[in-house]
Structure formats: structure tokens, C-alpha cells
Amino acid sequence: MMRALMPNLPNWINESLAERQQADLIRKTVVLDQAQTAHAQIDGKPYIAFCSNDYLGLANHALLKKSLKKAVDKYGVGSGSSHLVIGHTSAHERLEEDIAAWLGYEKVMLFSAGYMANLGAVTALGHKTRDVVGDKLNHASLVDGAKLSDSRLRRYLHNDVSSCERLLKVSSEGSLLVTDGVFSMDGDMAPLSELARLASHYKSLFMVDDAHGLGCLGRSGKGSLALADMSASEVPLLMGTCGKALGTSGAFIATSKVMGEYLTQFARPYIYTTAMSPAMASVTSSSVRLLQSAEGDDLRGRLADNIAYFRQKMQAFPLELMPSETAIQPILVGDSSIALKMSEKLRLRGVWCTAIRPPTVPIGLARLRITLSAEHSLQDIDALIDALEYSLLDK
């Protein structure tokens, strides 16, 4: 329960909290006293977790742990400075080159998080005279970037190419079209080829946020572009996070040399912040190598098998899945309080899946955002389905 600990706080603070509480929208931090794995110990009890973005189980991978320890011996723990002062080490340089080679881009710039990478690119490219056109379900960081850049944000209907075209038609020249590759709360994929064609026709810049595609989809885990058989030349700006399938943390923008130079000069969330830890950069290079190895293929194969198994098992179930072929398999519940109750019931059955509620998703579209990992066994998925069945009893 919420208690007023500081009586001299202005009223609106407590009022806002009370409002969220009333609507079942209060979020809580859960403390994990161990590594991020599909089998979590929370408050002393074992759970199978189905809500992490560690899709390939790399966050606790033995080889990567060893690689990080080695990197700490060489580079220490912190970067001590921004990239442009004295924080850019050979580990950062190497990671930028490794990602560029992996994804076929000329230039890669590292950021400390995906949120910052999106803010960086969109604030640098948006302007009050240039529009940002984006999918209605784009990630919050893309929306915030547009707001911060003072550009007009025009949002088209989710994955609706003609709605997007209508907005591009009336947009100022030199606008930015931006979309998630895989939508984080729905798991479906953007029609990237069509959007790229539109962007080129209307002389807009095109940017894709592939936080959830990278590592999981396409040949060598190159993500949504590879899956759609597209090349870097069709997507001048690609954002990727290292904190999801790559298992580490940080993020990057992959782009051309000239655009990289522009962002280096104008992307404030690149300039005015401490570079990611060099040890983290180094272990992320190992992760990128792993993704391109036979083991990477094997992990992606296991993830794909788990997704297929889950969807097939759910066919006989009274809950409808969303049209997603990715590791994100949400179950739409609607009401926030029901989503919370279902999540509590899952917990009673040893399954951990946090309810996702507004404002992360639109009002009335609360859901259980189930995410699958290569680490889950078929028995884990059976346990999930049993728990879902139990959660439906007199909900």
C-alpha cells in the first residue's frame, strides 16, 4: 500500500499515485537474487519465468561470463567518460566494427541503452520544420524522441501501409519514417519492404527499431531485415539493443558513414553521457560472434520450436493468441484488474508472467505478455499452459 512518507510533498504526487492504484495500474519492482534465467527464484520460491527478453538465454551463458571476466581484467569496469572525451576504448571500436560487419552497415555507433539510441537518432533527425511519421504502436522511446525534437509526430494506424502513405503525403519534406521491426507488446512484424518503398518514394529517411528481431530472426540472427530479405541500403538507420537476445546491455545505431558523422555531432544522448562499460562492449562482441555460430543457429532453432509448440498447444485453448510468429506471444485480457489476477494465479502455479497494463499498452488492452526463450523446455511450456488453464477458473 502507498503511504505518504514525506508529508511536505505537493498533493498532486500522492493524488497521481492514488489514481494509478485505484485503476490497478501501479507497477512494482521484483527483486531477483540470481542471474537472469528462465528458471527464477523469487522470494525464495522457484518459478518458470515467461516475461524476460533474454530470448536465447545468453544473459547467463557460460562462455559470455568467461569473456566478461577476461574483459574486466583488461579494461576495468567503467568507461569513465563519454565517447567523445576519453571513454571510447578499443573494445567499443571493435564492437562497432563487429556489428557493422555482421549487419552490413558502414558505420555503427554505440549508445548506453536502446532508449538513448532512439532518443539520440530521433531528436537529431526531427525538427520543428520536419515531421516524424511513426506506427501507432511504436516503442515509447521513439515517441519521446519526436516530442523532444519539437517535430510534429504523425502516427499511422498499426502496420497500415495506406494510412502511413496518407501521412507521408502531407508531411514536410525530409521527414523521418520510423517503425519497430517486431512490435514489443504484440509480437507482430512491420511490413518493412512496403514501408521502405514508401519512404524512398516520399524522400523520407527510414529507421527501423529492431530491438526484438535482432539475434532471433533471419540468417545469422541478423533480424527483421534479413527475414524480409532486405539490405542495409533500404534502411538507412537501424537501431538494435544489446539487452535483449544479445544478453548484455547497451544499444547501437547502424547507418552510413555520413549519417554516423551527423549523429556524432548532433545526437545529444550520444554526446552527453558516459559510454557503456568497455567490458560490456567486449562481451557484446563475443555475443555477436556467438549469434553467427552454429550454436546461434541451434538456439534460434530451439526458440522457433518452442514458439511452434506453444501456438499449437494453445489451439485447443479458450484463449486467443495474437497473430505473432515471434518469441512475444501475448494473451489479450483487456481489463487491467483481470490481467493482474491472472498473473497472480499463474504465480500460484509456479509461473511468472508480469501483467502489462496501460500506459504501456492502450486502455482496455491489458495483457499477459508471454515471452518464450530457447532455454524453455517443452515441459516448461506444458506447465505454462496448465497454469493458464488454472488462471481462467472463476477469474
Ligand X SMILES: *Cc1c(COP(=O)(O)O)cnc(C)c1O
Residue 6 region by backbone torsions, left for phi larger than 0, else alpha for psi between -120 and 50, else beta: beta
Does the annotation count 39 as an active-site position? no
| Contact with ligand X (CB under 6 A) among 123, 159, 241, 286 | 241
Q: What is the DSSP letter of 87?
A: I
Handedness of CA 123, 128, 131, 137 (dihedral sign): positive
- Of 241 and 282, nearer to ligand X (C-beta) is 241
**371 near ligand X (CB under 6 A):** no
Residue 107 region by backbone torsions, left for phi larger than 0, else alpha for psi between -120 and 50, else beta: beta
Taking CB under 6 A as the binding criterion, the range among 66-74, 162-170, 209-217, 352-360 that sits at the site for ligand X is 209-217
DSSP H helices, the chain, are: 11-22, 62-75, 90-103, 114-125, 140-148, 161-169, 192-201, 224-227, 257-266, 268-271, 278-291, 294-314, 336-348, 378-392
Q: How far is the CB of 117 from ligand X (least distance, A)?
A: 7
Does the annotation count 212 as an active-site position? yes
**224 near ligand X (CB under 6 A):** no
Nearest Cα residue to 113 out of 237, 284, 259, 258: 284
- Of 180 and 380, nearer to ligand X (C-beta) is 180
**211 near ligand X (CB under 6 A):** yes
Does the annotation count 83 as an active-site position? no
**118 near ligand X (CB under 6 A):** yes
Spacing of C-alpha 381 from chain mean position: 23
Q: Is 27 part of any known ligand binding site?
A: yes
Using CB under 6 A, count the residues that bind ligand X: 14
- Of 75 and 111, nearer to ligand X (C-beta) is 111
Taking CB under 6 A as the binding criterion, the range among 27-35, 41-49, 113-121, 357-365 that sits at the site for ligand X is 113-121
DSSP per residue, 123-137: HHH-BTTB-EEEETT
From the list 184, 204, 249, 285, the catalytic residue is 184
Q: Is 197 part of any known ligand binding site?
A: no
- Of 144 and 165, nearer to ligand X (C-beta) is 144
The amino acid at 64: L
Instruction: Based on DSSP, count helices (H) and strands (E) in the chain, helices before strands.
Output: 14, 13
Query: What are the residues binding ligand X (CB under 6 A)?
Result: 113-115, 118, 139, 141, 180, 184, 209, 211-212, 241, 243, 251
Give the residue numbers marked as catalytic.
184, 212, 244
Annotated binding site for substrate: 27, 139, 360
Annotated binding site for pyridoxal 5'-phosphate: 114-115, 184, 212, 241
